[in-house]
Amino acid sequence: MGAVTAHGDDVDEMYEKLCRGESAIATIDKWDTGEIGTKFAGEIKAFDCGDYMNKKMARRVDPYIAYMIVAAKRALESAKVNWNDESGEHYVDKALSGCLIGSAMGGMQTFATATENLVTQGHRKMNPFCIPFAITNMGSALTAMDIGFMGPNYSIASACATGNFCILNSIMHIQNGEANLMLAGASDAAVIPIGMAGFSAAKALSTRNDDPAAASRPWDANRDGFVMGEGAGVLVLESLESALARGAPIVAEVLGGFATCDAHHMTEPRPDGVGVNFAIDKALEMTGVKAEDVNYINAHATSTPAGDMAELRVLQKKFKASGAKINSTKSLIGHLLGAASAVEAVVCIKAITSGEVHPNKNLETPDEGVDTSMLVGTTREKLDVKVALSNSFGFGGHNSAVLFAPYKPKRS
């Protein structure tokens, strides 16, 4: 697993900060927010590609690409994948290794800079890389070029559900025998003027400028919108046969999942939660998992007035009997858009391997209908995760549900 967030680029350190309840949400200090209504985010304050990228390339590419490549290489390292030495241990067949790492927004900074240059300096001053570094597939493509993976390679853009969609499609490539190993996840870097101004204009963002760390408050009666975050999350998904053959450190099993569409509204979820319920039901059906076996849920829970309760009502009805515990990673690092579900997949797996789930931040006045007994409290909690459910939904009515479980070696 690999992740780049406002809590750094080390998965273990990130998860420990989450479990301590540390908020990474603060006032934006990389640029002047001016008259934009929201002046804070889960901004990555300091980022260094280190040796993971060529220095010249690191300076040129859009931040979403840099975050992606670092997260991908971190994931490969943690999975002990050798992609350089054909005669060495843990070498993988590059023809059967692919990349499906998407982005909801692509290279927004690259495109915004190009537009400004066109307007102020004319077309002759345009950066020749502005189109390649702006399109959503280029991050996955450059990752494959860097590593040499020649298997399935493309990107998916399904708004804030992008990461889960990439995970689900990667599973299919492995199950179909088209790949032994897939890098799956997503990356986004929209904490920039056009990103913040655009979501602010849509009245989607919290405006709690006087207390940024208290702004993301899923299920709280006083929530007023989501908090923008940025970063990347990448998983190494591998067939069991391939992983065992090379002695890979298997940390969990992705059981599968499902995706549906609300067919309702561009930005608002269905109040009745039918699309969400459908996605979860089909995910359970296709994986053979019973609802009572799911005891940890990483909810989509963005801290929006409309979205939080529509999802929670479904979860409370379906999983109350199982004693499932629910939390929202977005309460601590913000909403990473397409990368949110990719990072939250990492969080689910860390919950499985650590036996701990992180707290919910800022739930002070539970909204009407919230069953707080199902929510993780204000401090970390011990939990022996049987099956973890990761929900992620996006503008356009995209719903996704992915199930993870501890890896249990089969006894011969």
Edge-to-edge strands of the sheet including 97-102? 2-4, 231-238, 181-188, 97-102
Q: Give residue for tokens 């790949």.
A: 179
| No. of helices (H) and no. of strands (E), the chain | 12, 13
Bridge-based pairing of strands 356-357 and 325-327 is unpaired
CA angle 89/94/95 to nearest 5° reads: 140
CA-to-CA distance for 76 and 131, rounded, in angstroms? 28
Q: What are phi and psi of 228, to 5 degrees?
A: -65, 140
**Cα 141 off chain centre by:** 19
CA-to-CA distance for 15 and 30, rounded, in angstroms? 25
CA-to-CA distance for 195 and 216, rounded, in angstroms? 18
Catalytic residue among 49, 130, 160, 166: 160
* Residue 160 annotated in active site: yes
How many CB atoms neighbour CB 122 within 10 A? 9
Closest CA to 144 of 251, 248, 211, 68: 68
How many CB atoms neighbour CB 86 within 10 A? 10
215: amino acid identity, one letter: A
CA-to-CA distance for 67 and 379, rounded, in angstroms? 29
CA-to-CA distance for 331 and 9, rounded, in angstroms? 19
Residues annotated as part of the active site: 160
